[in-house]
Amino acid sequence: MQADITSLQLFMLQMVELEDAAWDDMLQRLQHRRYKKKDVFIKEGKICRELAFVLKGSFRYYKTIDGIEVTTFFSFEHYWISAYTSFLTHLPSFITVEAMEDAEVVVLNYDDMQYLYDHYVSFERFGRLMAEYLVTCLDERMHSLLLKTPEERYLKTLNDNRIYFERVPQHYIASYLGIAPESLSRIRKRVMQKVIS
């Protein structure tokens, strides 16, 4: 396990000076877990009590509406997964998070997170910086949905998150962008024509 979590250590050290004691204490509390493609991390309607760092593979967030899965987010290696609002509020999650590919993660539960916040100032700071980073992502996403055209959203995602177009089926990307699959096909065609001409 030790080798695997180097990416987590690097991720955290980029953000805070985490003293050895904090890191060692966190290590004791981490639970290593594997997911097969389509396995569920958290199901809509359940209260999410865990946060996980993705070591390998990817996850998809979605809500089922009238029998159709509407995709809202993706997480890949070296990023976190959680129904974070449910995790923070203890209310039922309004989304499902499931493995989009076979995956490996390390999990921290809510009580351990609070313990680490209480005992290590560096961990408290890490929590603040993580939440602030998430604010910037969600703020940009919300403004993009309110202010940008579907084509602008497509081009921005193509630019900022090329990995989506390499590892995510196209119909998942359409609902992530808030557009119908056939609109995404039209946009792709139009953008390709602009590139060619």
Rule CB under 8 A: say whether 117 interacts with a copy of itself: yes
Q: How far apart are CA 52 and CA 123, in angstroms?
A: 16
Please pick, from the candidates 2, 28, 136, 159, the single residue that binds a copy of itself as defined by CB under 8 A: 136
Q: Give the residue with the Cβ less far from a copy of itself, 14 or 197.
A: 14
Of 55 and 82, the one with the shorter C-beta distance to a copy of itself is 82
Q: Identify the bridge partners of residue 103 per DSSP, sorted by sequence position.
A: 35
Nearer to a copy of itself, 92 or 192 (CB): 92
Q: Which of these, 107, 87, 96, 100, lies nearest to 43 by C-alpha position?
A: 96
Task: Count the neighbouring beta carbons within 10 Å of the beta carbon of residue 11.
Answer: 16
Q: Given the complex with a copy of itself, which of 76 and 176 has the nearer CB atom? A: 176
CA distance 24 to 126: 15
Question: Among 54, 55, 51, 53, which Cα is nearest to 112's?
Answer: 51
Report the Cα–Cα distance between both ends of the chain, in Å, rounded.
51
63 near a copy of itself, judged by CB under 8 A: yes
13 binds a copy of itself (CB under 8 A): no
Buried b vs exposed e over 134-168: b needs ≥16 C-beta within 10 Å? eeeeeeeeeebeeeeebbebbeebeeeeeebeeeb
Q: Which is nearer to a copy of itself, 39 or 132 (CB)?
A: 132
Q: Which of residues 124, 158, 183, 191 is near a copy of itself by CB under 8 A? A: 124
**Interface with a copy of itself, residue 121, by CB under 8 A:** yes
Residues near a copy of itself, by CB under 8 A: 63, 65, 70, 72, 84-85, 88-89, 94-95, 117, 121, 124-125, 127-128, 131-132, 134-136, 138-143, 145-147, 175, 178
